[in-house]
Every structure is written in structure tokens, then in C-alpha cells.
């Protein structure tokens, strides 16, 4: 599995380098969208909008330029034999639905039981951020975070829970603004040991 994660990230990087359009093409596309809505991209209020939106999209989708495997490479082994659960709670993120490019706003709870080494806690948040800043569905994002931590750190187990509101159904479509989606991925002792899983769930959502 670890080699698969590394290979996927290499393919993604190569693809983005070869096929990525330049800024002028992106801004032209946004001008086309503005015309399609029925407005004039040359009017004063909109003339700089294509450039602003291009910059915003660079931020929204900056995760494609980052490798989550590399983020987890630096670990610490001087942990005095610590082998209990580590939980980082309530990691806020903003993502975008790959079906409608509508916002997904939520929080992630990430846990693992170390096996001889730990990683800096900010790195867990950064892994969430990298995957969030790509076009996503929540189920895939949940699995990606857990699988990457499991493959790189090789802990006794990993648990990830994500709770998020999807604007593709809260502000359009069925218009259910009070709904949210909860997904989870349990690996190793989190999957095999009901007590470990329950301990994590009690700390999370």
C-alpha cells in the first residue's frame, strides 16, 4: 500500500506539470463563464474578477502541489515507550465537491496508536489540509488521510472521522441546510479492537 501511495503522488505531480494550463487560459475561461451567466466581464465591477478567481483557485486547490507522504517523513523515536492513543481533534478544513465544485466545510478527527515513533501534531493537520485542497468526495478524503498515515508511520492503528456540510446539497439541489455527513475509516487496532474504536469515538464527534 505504501508504494501505491508514493506512485499515485508521483503520477499526480507529473500529470499536473505536463497538462496544467497557464494563468492566461484560466482567466479567459472565467471571462467566458461570466459571459455565460449573462453579465459583461469588461464592466468595471468584473474586469479584475477573472484574475481574482484564478488566485483564489490556486489557494483552494493548492493540495495538488503538495505531497502528503513527504509531510510525514520526519518522525521522533524518543518517546519513552509511549504506546497509547494520540488524537488530534476538530481540525477545521475547507474543500470542494468534485461533482459541483461547491464548498465542503467540516472538521476532522485524526488518531493513531504509535509503534515506536510519533510525528509532530501539526503534520497531521497538514495531511488533512493537503487532501482537502483538492477536488474531493468526503468518503475518498477520509480514506486517503487514514491510508497515508498508516502507510508512512506504520502505527498499530489509525482512525479518522470527518464531519462536514456539503454546499452541493445545502445551498442547491435538495436545499437541506441543517444536514451534515459523517464518515470514518478505521485501520489496525481501531478496526480490530472494539475498545480502542470506542475510546476514539468517545473523544470525537
Query: Of 27, 66, 129, 166, which residue is the catalytic one?
Result: 166
Catalytic residue among 6, 94, 97, 199: 97
**Would you put residue 2 in left (φ > 0), alpha (ψ -120 to 50) or beta?**
alpha
Q: Which of 100, 129, 156, 199 is catalytic?
A: 100
d(CA 205, CA 44): 46
Residue 168 among the catalytic residues: yes
Helix, strand or coil, per DSSP, at residue 159: strand
Of 138, 144, 167, 189, which one is the catalytic site residue?
Answer: 138
Which of 94, 98, 107, 199 is labelled catalytic? 98
DSSP for 34-62, please give it: HHHHT--TTSTTTTTHHHHHHHHHHHHTG
Q: Is 97 a catalytic residue?
A: yes
Place of cell 500500500: 1
Q: Judge whether 96 counts as a catalytic residue.
A: no
Distances (CA, A) of 35 to 15, 45, 92, 107, 108: 30, 14, 35, 36, 38
- Catalytic-residue membership of 138: yes
Q: Is the CB of residue 5 less than 8 Å from the CB of residue 69?
A: yes
Which of 94, 107, 168, 199 is labelled catalytic? 168
Catalytic annotation, pick one of 99, 107, 167, 189: 99
Q: Catalytic amino acids? A: 97-100, 138, 166, 168
Amino acid at each position: 500500500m505504501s508504494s501505491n501511495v508514493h506512485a499515485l503522488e508521483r503520477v499526480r505531480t507529473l500529470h499536473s506539470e505536463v497538462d496544467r494550463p497557464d494563468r492566461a487560459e484560466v482567466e479567459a475561461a472565467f471571462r467566458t463563464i461570466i459571459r455565460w451567466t449573462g453579465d459583461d466581464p469588461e464592466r468595471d465591477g468584473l474586469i479584475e474578477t477573472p484574475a481574482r478567481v484564478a488566485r483564489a483557485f490556486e489557494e483552494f486547490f493548492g493540495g495538488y502541489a503538495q505531497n502528503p507522504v513527504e509531510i510525514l517523513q520526519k518522525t521522533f523515536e524518543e518517546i519513552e515507550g509511549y504506546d497509547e492513543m494520540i488524537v488530534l481533534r476538530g481540525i477545521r478544513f475547507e474543500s470542494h465537491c468534485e461533482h459541483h465544485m461547491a464548498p465542503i466545510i467540516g472538521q476532522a478527527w485524526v488518531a493513531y496508536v504509535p509503534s515506536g515513533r510519533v510525528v509532530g501534531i501539526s503534520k497531521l493537520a497538514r495531511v488533512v489540509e493537503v487532501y482537502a485542497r483538492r477536488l474531493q468526495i468526503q468518503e475518498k478524503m477520509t480514506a486517503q488521510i487514514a491510508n497515508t498515515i498508516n502507510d508512512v508511520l506504520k502505527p498499530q492503528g489509525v482512525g479518522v472521522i470527518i464531519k462536514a456540510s456539503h454546499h452541493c446539497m445545502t445551498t442547491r439541489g435538495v436545499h437541506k441546510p441543517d444536514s451534515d455527513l459523517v464518515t470514518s475509516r478505521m485501520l489496525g487496532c481501531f478496526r480490530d479492537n472494539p475498545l480502542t474504536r470506542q475510546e476514539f469515538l468517545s473523544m470525537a464527534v
